[in-house]
Amino acid sequence: MTARIFQPSKSSMTSGMAKASGWKLELSADAPRPVDPLMGWVGSNDTSSQVSLTFPTKEAALDYATKHGYAVQVEEPRKRKHRPRGYGDNFAFNRRVPWSH
C-alpha cells in the first residue's frame, strides 16, 4: 500500500495561513474502484483509502509510514509568492491599470 505525505494548502475561504502548517498522510487504494452498473457510483471494499492522518511534522509522518510498512510518496509544498502592498497602492500615480472606472 502506498502512503502520500503532503502539506495541505490553506483554505481558499480565508486570507490567513492558520491551520496550514501540519502534514497529512493519505493511503491510496491498491486496486481500481469498481463502478456500479445500475447507478454509476464508484465503490470500494477498501476502507483504508478513506483514512487521512495529520501530523505536526513531515518526519513524524515518515516515521509512522515506515513503522507500518507503507511505501512513501512525499510531496513538498510549493510556497506562495507574497507581495506586500498597502491600501494606498490602489491610488498610486504609477499604476499600470487605472483603478477607477
Tell me the per-residue pLDDT of 72-99, one tens digit each, with 9 for 90 and over: 999 998 887 877 878 887 778 787 776 6
CB atoms within 10 A of CB 10: 14
Angle ∠(79,53,25) on CA atoms, nearest 5: 50
Look up the domain containing 24 and give its range.
2-31+43-78
Structural domains counted in the chain: 1
CATH of the domain at 27: 3.30.160.190
Domain-embedded: residue 94 = no
**Phi and psi (nearest 5°) for 84?**
-70, 125
Better-scored residue on pLDDT, 22 or 43: 22
Q: Grade residue 18 by pLDDT with cuts at 50, 70 and 90.
A: low
**Which three three-digit cell numbers place residue 64?**
509512522
pLDDT of residue 100: 64
Element (H, E) at 62: helix 58-67
